[in-house]
Amino acid sequence: MLPEQFLERMRCMLGEEYDIFLETFGQERRQALRLNPLKYDAEGRSAAQRYGTDSGSFAVLEKVPWAEDGYYYRGQDQPGKHPFHEAGLYYIQEPSAMAPVELMEVQPGERVLDLCAAPGGKSTQIAAKLKGRGLLVCNEIHPARAKILSENIERMGIGNACVINEAPERLVGLFSGFFDKVLVDAPCSGEGMFRKNQEACGEWSPENVRLCAQRQDGILDCAARMLKPGGRLVYSTCTFSLRENEGSVSRFLERNEDFQLMAIDKGRLGLEGCDGITAYFDEEKFLGGDAAGEVQEIEGNGAGAHMPGMENTLRLWPHRIRGEGHYAAVLRKKGNLPETCGNNDRIFTVERNAEAAWKEFCAFCRENLTCRIDLSRKTGESPGMEGAARYIVFGDNLYVLPEEMPSLKGLKVVRPGLHLGTLKKNRFQPSHALALALRPGSAARRWEFSDCSPDLVTYLGGGTFSGEGEKGWYLVCVEGFGIGWGKLAGGVMKNHYPKGLRKG
């Protein structure tokens, strides 16, 4: 049941397109995934390389035109239930939601902030473009969602990201002028997801639309302060509301004269005609309240009868593309990016009592890896470990930090970097994160499963199975891709797949 005030507003916004738009709510929505270019098999092929042209056994794929490594799949394929999902070969993501990161133009080695990051679709997409180099800071204000975000960062084998759980205002002092690129995928009224999420319909209200717009203003202002001169800020929502989309951008530009709106090359993305709205539309009369007062407020903040330049923003409509409703705008901070990275006085340089854990980790590497992994400089051995510079210990857990990681003292850190493992009774136990980030070719011993093996089902359920071979740690693989650890002793493979992830 769509809210009546929402329908009235959309009828006036869309005019003759309204009936076609309304029909989409009775149609099956399109589903998509992004193949992971950071996940490699034993032969050195990434999941994106291996399945981008040949879908193999897990799904029938069709390219999403605006997203690198993005593909539609059929509903009956159910890739979320395939073991490849647990191995991090892909991230299931709504196709329209893939567009904003493509607008960021992320380059390897940059510092990037995803300010409202959960559940992690856009963060993992950014990480793919960083190719294991540079720094990705993923922030989520809600603790439970931050945990889900952290789990997805781990599942996709990402080593150069940290996950924090803070309000945007808490980050500004530490990260002022720090980032090359910032994404604000803002919390919104969710109108674009009504077809996907029926609960969003019940949560919609005129008051929530206004509340979301106010919240977006504050988040954007925080993001602006954390961007370097010459840096790129991408703002996105999954709503149709003008107040939350072009209105938010217009108000931001009015408050921040050091920013300019950039034109989006929609032809390159195959999204011709998906322009933002330039003629002001009085949606307030459909939201109730004092319409005249609301309109005056908007006009006083840059959104008058016409909003010049807003055609350069991006509106994705479900009746025009194969995806849900989404909005995006690209903003550039005036000035030039510095030739060298600034703010080096804040870069983390102190190792925290990690000597014992580090010594045991080195012993583990000598016994169980075929190549030396130098965590002090870029080696190219594993995309999850390139560019790593320092290691720290939290409790008994050893982490390696991304390059140029700032000190996060005083902040709530969920995941400071790549979790290497845990020191237990003076012995090093490798982490699940390391299994997912490691290239299989780096493991001295591998145990291979086909994707339909009954023993793989046993393993993912937490069970042990019989095996013959040299005793020690094994990287358990499915079709050549690492999915977890096992330890062979006495003809039995002991299961080290995390209890919280086990099936059945």
What's 424-470 look like in SS3? ECCEEEECHHHHHHCCHHHECCEEEECCCCHHHHHHHCCCCEECCCC
Task: Give rounded-to-5 percent helix, strand, coil for the chain.
Answer: 35, 25, 40
Residue-level pLDDT at 301: 40
Residue-level pLDDT at 443: 95
Residue-level pLDDT at 377: 35
Q: In the structure encoding, which two tokens stand for residue 497, read together?
A: 């797949």
* DSSP sequence for 156-173: TT--SEEEE---HHHHHH
pLDDT in tens, the chain (504 residues): 899 999 999 998 999 999 999 999 999 999 999 999 999 999 999 999 999 977 666 888 999 999 999 999 998 899 999 999 999 999 999 999 999 999 999 999 999 999 999 999 999 999 999 999 999 999 999 999 999 999 999 999 999 999 999 999 999 989 999 999 999 999 999 999 998 888 888 889 999 999 999 999 999 999 999 999 999 999 999 999 999 999 999 999 999 999 999 999 999 999 999 999 987 666 766 666 443 333 333 443 444 446 779 999 999 999 999 999 999 999 999 998 776 544 444 444 444 456 778 888 889 999 999 875 544 333 333 333 433 347 788 888 999 888 888 888 889 999 999 999 999 887 899 999 999 999 999 999 999 999 999 999 999 999 999 999 999 999 999 999 999 999 999 999 999 999 999 987
Residue-level pLDDT at 57: 67
- Mode of pairing for the β-strands spanning 111-114 and 418-424: unpaired
Residue-level pLDDT at 128: 98
Residue-level pLDDT at 392: 84
**Diameter over CA atoms, the chain:** 79
Identify the active-site residue in 162, 212, 222, 238: 238
**CB-CB contact of 486 with 459 (8 Å):** yes
Q: Is 238 a catalytic residue?
A: yes
Residue-level pLDDT at 472: 96
